[in-house]
């Protein structure tokens, strides 16, 4: 029972962690989408002619923001990978526990069959004893 509550607690903790990671991933994804929609496409920005001086000033900030978002996305992906690995490991542990429980069940069934068989043998010996006792006691009386 204690092990089962530990498994439930760890499953709950893992689910909560996964939900937090998923929420964080969604936020990063939405921020990346907004940044992509806000930035002009390369075909629109490349016009023949002189570029404005302010455009050169803004490029490092846009690139830095994209790098930060990429890093956040990579962090979220790494967390999700770790969490999915943990989920996989837990599922494997649960499968092993289920197999062990099945084996214990088989052992108890075998034990029950052995006890039943021994009970029949004991009853048979008791019957033989009674028959022998009855036959010997009738022969003494004669």
Tens digits of residue pLDDT in 85-111: 888 888 999 999 999 999 999 999 999
DSSP per residue, 6-21: HHHHHHHHHHHHHHHH
3-state secondary structure of 54: helix
Residue 56 banded pLDDT, cuts 50, 70, 90: low
Each residue's pLDDT tens digit, 12-37: 788 788 878 877 888 888 888 777 77
- Cα(53)–Cα(6) distance, rounded to whole angstroms? 62
User: How many other β-carbons are positioned within 10 Å of the β-carbon of residue 138?
Assistant: 9
Residue spans of alpha helices (H) in the chain? 2-38, 42-45, 53-141
């Amino acid at each position: 029972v204690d092990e089962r509550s530990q498994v439930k607690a760890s499953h709950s903790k893992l689910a909560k962690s996964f939900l937090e990671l998923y929420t964080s991933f969604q936020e990063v994804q939405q921020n990346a989408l907004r940044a992509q929609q806000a930035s002009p496409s390369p075909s629109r920005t490349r016009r023949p002619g002189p570029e404005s001086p302010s455009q050169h000033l803004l490029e490092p900030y846009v690139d830095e923001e994209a790098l930060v978002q990429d890093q956040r996305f990579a962090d979220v992906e790494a967390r999700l990978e770790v969490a999915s690995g943990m989920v996989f490991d837990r599922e494997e542990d649960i499968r092993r526990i289920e197999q062990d429980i099945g084996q214990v069940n088989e052992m108890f069934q075998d034990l029950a069959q052995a006890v039943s068989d021994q009970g029949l043998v004991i009853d048979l010996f008791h019957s033989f004893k009674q028959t022998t006792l009855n036959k010997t006691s009738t022969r003494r009386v004669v």
